[in-house]
């Protein structure tokens, strides 16, 4: 089953959180702020993916 727009956005947020995490972990002195951004992006991505899976399950269950 192909990913819809919401699934793609969720995966994009997870990828973006990894891309942001690498320089944060390596060098930034304000790492707590970077950590908050990384957690927010990853959390949003996971929530979007879970919502997509939940909607798919609800649409496919028998009445």
pLDDT in tens, 3-59: 677 777 777 777 877 777 777 666 666 666 767 777 777 777 778 777 766 666 566
Q: Provide the number of structural domains found in the chain.
A: 1
Look up tokens 């994009």; give the residue: 12
Asked, for residue 61, whether it belongs to a domain, the answer is no
The residues near 13 (Cβ < 8 Å, ≥ 6 apart) are 41, 42, 44, 45, 48
pLDDT of residue 27: 67
Which pLDDT value is given to residue 39? 76
**Domain span at 42:** 5-52
43 lies in a domain? Answer: yes
| Residue that is written with structure tokens 């909607």 in the block | 55
- Residue 3's pLDDT is what? 66
- Let me know if residue 60 belongs to a domain: no
């Amino acid at each position: 089953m192909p990913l819809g727009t919401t699934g793609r956005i969720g995966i994009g947020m997870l990828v973006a959180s990894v891309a942001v995490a690498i320089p944060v972990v390596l060098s930034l002195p304000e790492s707590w702020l970077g950590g908050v951004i990384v957690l927010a992006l990853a959390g949003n991505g996971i929530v979007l993916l879970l919502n997509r899976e939940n909607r798919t399950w609800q649409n496919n269950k028998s009445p």
